[in-house]
Every structure is written in C-alpha cells, then in structure tokens.
C-alpha cells in the first residue's frame, strides 16, 4: 500500500480536514497530506482532538494523522471530549514499538497500545494486510457511523512510499516588528463580570467557553444555542474554536479561555499559522486555577499572555483591565485576525448552578445553530 491509496481511501470517506504531526516512518504520506486536504499542522497531538471536535461540530469530516506515541498525549482529551460528547474522530497512526523497533523509548507505550485502547474503550483497527487499503476506509466510515473515536494502526512495512517531497523555508517570510511595553494595572473585573460583558456584547457570534466554572458562568449570563459549553478536556477550548473558525469562515468565533489552560497548551502558534480572520481568543487571566479552588498558578505575576500571543504570531493583540476596555477590544477584533485579548481579572468564582444540559444536548443544539441557522 502506498500513500496515494491511503489518501484515496480518506477522500472516498469525505475527509476534508487533516490535523497532523509527522512520523519518519511515513515521510511521503505526511508531505502529501497538506497537498491533498485542508490541513492544520500540530505541535502537540491532543490539540488535534479539539480542532477535530470543533470542525465536526461546524460541518467538516476531520481526521488526525500522527505517530502512535502521540496517542498517549491524546487519551484524556479523547475520553473527556470526543467520547463524552459523542463525536467521531478517526485517528491514522503510524504504529511504532514493534519487534523491529530500534528506539527504546518507543517500546513501553506503543507495544501494548492495543490493550491500552481496549481498556479505554476506544475502537481500533490494525492494518494487517497492506494489500487491502479498504480496511482504512471501513474504519473511517465506522467512526462517523458510530460517533466514536477509532484508531487505525499502520505497522512498519505496511506502507510503501512512492515519493518524498522536500521542504524549503518560505521565500517571503512575513515581516515582524514590535515595540512592547507592559502596563499592567490592578484588575477590577471578576471572571463573571468579564463573561457578562462578553455575553451582553454578543449577537450572532459563536462562543466556546472553557471547562468548569467559566462555562457555568456563561450559561448563567446568557444561554444561547450558539454557545458551546465545555465539560472537560483541559486546554482544548481554543483548539475547538480554531476548528470551528477554519471550517466556518463566515461565522465570528470567540473563545473564552483561561490563563492556566492557555499556558498548558501549544495552540497559539498553530492558530496564528492557520490565520483564521474570524477567530478571537480571550484569555481570562486571574493568575489562579479558578475552577479547582483558586490555587495560584505558576508564573502568576510574570507570564504575559499577550506577549506569548504576539510571539506566536498573532498580529492583533490587546490587554484589558476594565469592562469598557473589553468591549472596545471585542469591537476592534475580528478584523483581519486571528485576534487575542488578554483580560486581566480578579480571582474568585461566582455561585452559579451547574448547566442543566447533557453533553448530547449541548452538542445537538450547537450543531443545529451552526448547520441549520435559527
């Protein structure tokens, strides 16, 4: 089987977005994927889970292509996002760690991987017959039919590469110059204050809110079908928003993310590279892990989220401390984005009830709003 047969199987199943990190055992395939599909390059595999979730909710048929060791980074996101909300997620993985593996670090996780997937309840297919590429198409079909993740393991020797491209640096890299002076003031808003500002400003925009209390606060402030409330999968809010924004460029997408979540993710350079003009990420920064009791996070008085976004490649950034500044930043964002708003807020959780919606109800009404309109 060669990479063209794999690509043919994926196209036959309607795959139209691939998020990927390469494997050196399948170089040609990973060079060709960006040529054949809408493609988002990853720097951490679990971001592909969130991107794929957002893309599917918005109407795409996504797939993640990785080396099998990356599944270890994805497990919590798969179970707390893909499985919890009943979303499809085909994962094409070059399977390392077998009998001929020469890198010791590939063996401990990858060799028992089928048992790990079985224990987690994640369906998988091992490509045992390289002369039968239809197995890949069948597995992809299964994940969309059953609304589950499905891992396709491609052992060494199953893939015969027909070509291997080469990569050269961009001929005209985007110019970049900045003069940055940090002017932090004492925050006056709580997170709930900031979320109420965002909710009041919103009309027909898509909102994705971070896990825990932020989602409950958004529900309390302004429940809408266009709100996607996260219930788990720490660090995936902005990845979900990116998947939606790149799939539906006609919709303004605003992500309500948190400082801990953003610092634990590698999504900012991925979003900046994808360049969705309709995406705004709001980093609500209270310097603590708010949903777990407001324990101080590392770098609470030193890490600068706006500067991180600038370094990642965001051209439109701002820092706000007061409600009117947040309103102004929202009005200025969404024009040639992606945009990043660093909202510095006070610690503290409001006393709001749990969201009285099941994951399936959140999913279905959100998809209805995106796909069918009012």
Mean pLDDT for back-to-back runs of 10 residues, the chain (374 residues) = 94 98 91 96 97 98 98 97 98 93 94 98 94 95 98 90 64 74 93 98 97 95 98 95 97 96 95 96 91 82 93 95 97 87 94 96 97 65
pLDDT value at residue 336: 81
Phi then psi dihedrals of residue 39, to 5 deg: -135, 135
223 HSE (CA, 13 A, CB side) = 10
The token pair at 50 is: 């969130």
pLDDT value at residue 344: 97
pLDDT value at residue 15: 98
CATH number given to 191-372: 3.40.50.970
pLDDT value at residue 202: 96
pLDDT value at residue 284: 97
pLDDT value at residue 132: 92
Give the integer Cα–Cα distance in Å for 102 and 110: 13
Give the ranges where the chain is alpha helix by DSSP (H). 3-12, 27-36, 47-57, 71-77, 84-85, 107-110, 113-120, 134-146, 191-201, 213-221, 237-247, 259-263, 267-274, 305-312, 323-332, 359-372
Contact 77, 46 (CB under 8 A): yes
Give the integer Cα–Cα distance in Å for 76 and 365: 25
pLDDT value at residue 130: 86
CA–CA distances in Å: residue 233 to residues 46, 277, 365: 10, 25, 20
* Extents of the domains making up the chain: 3-154, 191-372
pLDDT value at residue 373: 56
H or E stretch at 223: none
CA–CA distances in Å: residue 322 to residues 121, 202, 309: 46, 17, 20
Same topology, domains 3-154 and 191-372? Answer is yes
CATH number given to 3-154: 3.40.50.970
Give the integer Cα–Cα distance in Å for 28 and 2: 9
pLDDT value at residue 299: 82
């Amino acid at each position: 089987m060669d990479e063209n047969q794999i690509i043919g199987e994926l196209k036959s199943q309607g795959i139209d977005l691939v998020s990927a990190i390469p494997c050196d055992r399948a170089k040609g395939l990973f060079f060709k994927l960006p040529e054949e599909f809408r493609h988002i390059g990853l720097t951490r595999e679990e971001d592909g889970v969130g991107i794929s979730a957002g893309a599917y909710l918005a109407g795409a048929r996504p797939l993640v292509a990785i080396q099998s060791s990356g599944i270890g980074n994805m497990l919590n996101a798969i179970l707390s996002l893909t499985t919890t909300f009943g979303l499809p997620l085909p994962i094409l993985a070059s399977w390392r760690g077998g009998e001929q593996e020469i890198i010791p670090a590939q063996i401990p996780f990858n060799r028992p991987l089928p048992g790990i997937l079985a224990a987690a309840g994640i369906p998988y297919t091992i490509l045992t017959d390289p002369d039968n590429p239809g197995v890949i198409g069948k597995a992809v079909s299964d994940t969309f039919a059953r609304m589950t993740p499905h891992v396709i393991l491609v052992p060494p020797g199953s893939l015969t590469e027909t070509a291997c491209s080469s990569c050269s640096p961009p001929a005209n890299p985007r110019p970049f110059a900045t003069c940055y002076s940090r002017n932090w003031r004492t925050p006056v808003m709580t997170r709930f204050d900031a979320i109420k500002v965002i909710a009041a400003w919103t009309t027909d925009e898509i909102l994705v809110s971070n896990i825990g209390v932020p989602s409950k606060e958004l529900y309390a402030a302004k429940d809408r079908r266009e709100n996607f409330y996260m219930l788990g999968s720490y660090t995936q809010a902005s990845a979900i928003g990116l998947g939606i924004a790149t799939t539906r460029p006609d919709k303004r997408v605003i992500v309500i993310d948190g400082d801990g979540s953003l610092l634990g993710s590698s999504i900012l350079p991925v979003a900046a590279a994808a360049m969705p003009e309709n995406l705004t990420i709001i980093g609500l920064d209270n310097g603590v892990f708010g949903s777990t009791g407001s324990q101080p996070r590392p770098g609470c008085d030193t890490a600068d989220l706006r500067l991180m976004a600038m370094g990642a490649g965001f051209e439109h950034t701002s820092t706000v401390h007061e409600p009117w500044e947040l309103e102004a930043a929202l009005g200025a964002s969404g024009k040639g984005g992606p945009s990043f708003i660093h909202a510095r807020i006070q610690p503290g959780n409001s006393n709001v009830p749990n969201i009285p919606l099941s994951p399936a109800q959140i999913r279905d009404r959100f998809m209805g709003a995106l796909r069918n309109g009012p």
